[in-house]
Amino acid sequence: MSPYANLRGNSPVIGYEIEPTRITVWFKGGKPYSYSYNKAGRGNVEEMKNLARSGAGLSAYITRNVRFLYD
């Protein structure tokens, strides 16, 4: 797991793991959620990868776009 930079300081995301066709996201006090091309869509997963690497906006993106589309 790579630590999430949390540049805005208010994210519940603590870490992530990027694989070719999915991203797994760890939240504070909870289990990991895995988002795949098959369930969340390629565009969403690739945007989540970009946001994870940048350290800002990942949780908000998940809430707005893929909240219930985890595997």
User: Are 55 and 4 within 8 A, CB to CB?
Assistant: yes
The pLDDT assigned to 53 comes to 98
pLDDT one-digit tens code per residue, 17-66: 999 999 999 999 988 999 999 999 999 999 999 999 999 999 999 999 99
* Closest alpha carbon to 16 in 38, 45, 43, 37: 45
The pLDDT assigned to 40 comes to 98
Q: Report how far residue 10's alpha carbon sits from residue 13's, in angstroms, rounded to the nearest whole number.
A: 9
The pLDDT assigned to 10 comes to 94
Q: How much is the pTM?
A: 0.94
Q: How many of the other CB atoms lie within 10 Å of CB of 52?
A: 23
Residue 10 host element (H or E): none
By the 10 Å C-beta count (0-12 exposed, 13-18 middle, 19+ buried), 45 is classed as buried
